[in-house]
Structures are given as structure tokens and as C-alpha cells.
Amino acid sequence: MTEPESRSSVYSEALEWYENNWDPNRSLGEWWKLLAESGWAFPSWPVGFGGQGLKGNEAKAAKQAQRDTEAYGPPNGVATFLVAPTLMHYGTPEQQRRYMPGIVSGQDAWCQLFSEPGSGSDMAGLATRAERDGDEWIITGQKVWSSGAQFAKYGILIARTDPHLPKHKGITYFLIDMQQEGVDVRPLREMTGDAVFNEVFLSEARVSEADRLGDLGEGWRVAMTTLSHERDPENPGMGDTDAFGQADLSLPVHEHASIEANKVDGFSLALSGGVTKILNEIIEETGKGDDPVIRQQLMGLLEMRRNSKWSGERVVASVKAGGQPGPEVSTLKLLGSEMGRQIRDIGLNALGSAGMLTGEQASHNELFYAYSMFTPAMSIAGGTDEVQKNIIGERVLGLPREPGEAQQRETNWSELPRS
């Protein structure tokens, strides 16, 4: 079967399913469950995990059928774009059976507990401790910048299980229940005006040994898998529905969708890629398409998109070779934050002083303003631009590592200097 034929047969099958089942009056929870059971929620994921095991173009065709019927998309967020791919790769069958259904049907929200006040870029330097107590681990420490933690039922957590090993080696990866005594979540207000981030204080919180993901001391490797998916803009778990809000599953989908459509949220806009449509509208409405500076900037954006497509092909090749995105994915992450800044600058140039307006007077329900305020975060979240450049230099181009890095990698964590 040739690619276009398979694409069209999958498209017809998916289209038929959506036409028969999509009903905006169903509750959100019911719709997401139905979508997950049908396998059209995440078409490229395995059967039983909300998917149908479809490959590239076939999965895209199924997604297109959803868009063409204007059916509401599957759940989106840390659970689907970070936890699911990591769990499918490293989870035991028991862990997958326990957690995947709640993820693919949007019933359980998750958060990512990696960054700490003293270790963001230097994530391997983390200080949160996990100490064994019978069949459980006792977790003590502090995490920060944990997006959506205030709504999360579970978290993916990395903690130090052996301080007397080099920093990359004494880390273990856990699945933690966020709704327990010992987990204190405190929201932080951002410059966007939203409070998506949180500080998370862990005071003798408990994790069962059965919720260790991957081997003891292998947490760094497991976390790198999670981060490679976070940096991959082609991640099939990254959808176009609200990623960080608290969804009321009992609401009819059309009510939920209308709340979402009126929400001013630069974070979700950046994740969904929906800003391109807004930028095009701004250029049309302001009539600035002929402005030489803006035309030049648009050409720059086009060039970045071409580079991104080229890099995307390399990433797809690396996924085929190793099963998971390789370090090449950092080129996409870097280009993504550069494109974000370029889109912001073009839009603000076109809007002129109107770009400074907030509230009702702002362009596009304040969405472009919110996006502009969010763009600096794109160069930080999931690893900063500088860190991506280091990864590209060292792991893709084979350049020498940073000075002192080799020695740091061999010294036990407990002997490393810390601020």
C-alpha cells in the first residue's frame, strides 16, 4: 500500500468515527474516555494506550480528520507529552496498567518535579533526598517552577538516592502521589500575570518502591528521555487543547471549549502553535504586509521554519534509530524559542503602540500580548538556549566538554561545592 492510499483510508476511517461519535453536548470526561477507548486520541501510540500504533503520515491523517470535523481534541499537558512517553518506554506493565488509562482519558493531571532552587540547568546537582524505608521511599527537599502542580494528582520526580556517587549516578526517578500529607504546593505569580508555576515543598512525603520508574540510580537516563520528549515539537502527546488549566470533566465539551477559547493564556498558545494564525491576522488587519522591515523579518521566520523542517527530519531519523529522540532534538528546541521571539517581534512591530495595550483594548482578546510576555519563557523551559547550545556542541558536533566538567562528573555529589 502506498503512503497516500494508506493516508486516505485511515483518514476515511477516522472521519467516519468522528462523524458518528463527536457530540459537543457530551461531558468532557465522557468524550475524552470515548476518544481514548477508540484509539483516535493519540493515533501513533500503541493499541490499549489511547492509540492505534499508526506511523507518521497515517497518524497525521487521523489528526486531520479530528480537525476537519472540528471535534474537540484529546487531553494535553505534562501527563500526555512527558509522562506517557516515559512510562511507555521505562514503565513496568503494572505501572503502565495503573497510570496510562488516567493519562490518555485526561482524568489524571500530572506535574514535573525536576528543577530545584539550586539546580535548574545543572539538574544533575539536585539535592532532594529519597531514603529507603521498607517498601517505601521518604522524600525530603524542594522543587520549583513546577507547572500545573496545584492541579496535579501525580508527579514525576527525580531525587538523590545515593549522595556518595557522582552526581549523575546517584539519582532515581519516581512517580509520586501529589495529594498526600508531606507535599505542599505554593503557586508563584509570573510576569504574564498567571500563576502556572509552583514551589513544591516535600517534607517526608512517601513513594512506594513499586512507583520507582527505571532502575535504582538510573534516574538521570530516564529523565533525559523525558526531556528529549519535552524538547521535541513533534511530540504526539503535545496537543492543541488547554495544557495547564484545571479541566472540569463534568462540563459539556462545548462549555469547556468556550471557557478555554476566552482564556488569555500565552503558555498554551505557544505550545499549540496557534499563534501563527493570529500573526497572519495581525499583518492583514494592520496592512503591514508591504512594510520592508516586516517583510525582512517574515523572510527570517521563513528561513527558521525551513531550518526547523530540516532539523525535524534529522530528529525523525534519530527516533527511528534509537526509539527515542536523540540530542539533535535540541536544535528544534533552540529554533522553537528563536521563532517565538521572531513572531513576537513581527507582531509587535505591526501593531506598533497598540501592541502595548492590555485588557479589552488589546489585539485578539489580549492573546498576542500574553504570548509576547510568555516568549522569554520559551528560552528557559525544558532547558535554556545556552544549555541546548552546549548539548548540540558536545553531543551532536562532538566538541570538547565544558572546562572542569569531566572532573565534576567523577567526583561524588557529597564532595561537590554547593552554594
Residue 408 makes contact with ligand FAD by CB under 6 A: no
Stretch touching ligand FAD by CB under 6 A, among 84-92, 106-114, 199-207, 245-253: 106-114
* 75 vs 239: CA distance, rounded Å: 7
Judged by CB, which is closer to ligand FAD: 133, or 386?
A: 386
Residue 114 makes contact with ligand FAD by CB under 6 A: yes
Q: Where are the beta strands (DSSP E) in 20-144?
A: 110-113, 129-133, 136-144
Tell me the HSE value of 234 on the side-chain side, using a 13 A CA sphere: 24
Residue 147 makes contact with ligand FAD by CB under 6 A: yes
Q: How far is the CB of 334 from ligand FAD (least distance, A)?
A: 12
Q: Judge whether 230 counts as a catalytic residue.
A: yes
Residue 390 makes contact with ligand FAD by CB under 6 A: yes
Q: Which residue has the cell 528563536?
A: 338
DSSP 265: -
* Run of H or E residues at 183: strand 183-187
Q: How far is the CB of 146 from ligand FAD (least distance, A)?
A: 5
Report the residue from 36, 387, 391, 392 that binds ligand FAD according to the rule CB under 6 A.
387
Give the length of the chain.
Answer: 419
H helices of 165-215, in order, are none
Contacts with ligand FAD in 116-145 (CB under 6 A)?
A: 120-121, 145
Q: How far is the CB of 145 from ligand FAD (least distance, A)?
A: 3
Judged by CB, which is closer to ligand FAD: 118, or 289?
A: 118
Residue 380 makes contact with ligand FAD by CB under 6 A: yes
Residue 388 makes contact with ligand FAD by CB under 6 A: no
Residue 115 makes contact with ligand FAD by CB under 6 A: yes
Listed residue (268, 277, 338, 274) closest to 308, CA to CA? 338
Residue 155 makes contact with ligand FAD by CB under 6 A: no
User: Residues near 279 by Cβ (< 8 Å), separated by ≥ 6?
Assistant: 343, 346, 347, 368
The bridge status of strand 110-113 relative to strand 171-177 is unpaired
Residue 201 φ then ψ, to 5°:
-100, 125
Residue 2 φ then ψ, to 5°:
-75, 165
Contacts with ligand FAD in 340-379 (CB under 6 A)?
A: 377
Residue of 58, 116, 230, 366 marked catalytic: 230
Q: How far is the CB of 372 from ligand FAD (least distance, A)?
A: 14
Please report, for residues 78, 288, 334, 405, the alpha-carbon distance to residue 380 in angstroms, rounded to integers and kept in the order given.
Answer: 16, 31, 10, 22
- The count of chain residues that interact with ligand FAD, using the rule CB under 6 A, is 19
The residue whose Cβ lies closest to ligand FAD is 120
Residue 204 makes contact with ligand FAD by CB under 6 A: no
Q: How far is the CB of 414 from ligand FAD (least distance, A)?
A: 21
Residue 146 makes contact with ligand FAD by CB under 6 A: yes
Helical packing angle, 56-68 and 3-21, nearest 10°: 30
Amino acid identity at 217: G
The bridge status of strand 136-144 relative to strand 171-177 is unpaired
Residue 161 makes contact with ligand FAD by CB under 6 A: no
Dihedral (CA of 36, 174, 88, 77) sign = positive
Stretch touching ligand FAD by CB under 6 A, among 38-46, 169-177, 243-251, 386-394: 386-394
Q: How far is the CB of 340 from ligand FAD (least distance, A)?
A: 12
Residues annotated catalytic, as ranges: 230
- List interacting residues with ligand FAD (CB under 6 A): 111-115, 120-121, 145-147, 377, 380-381, 383-384, 386-387, 390, 402
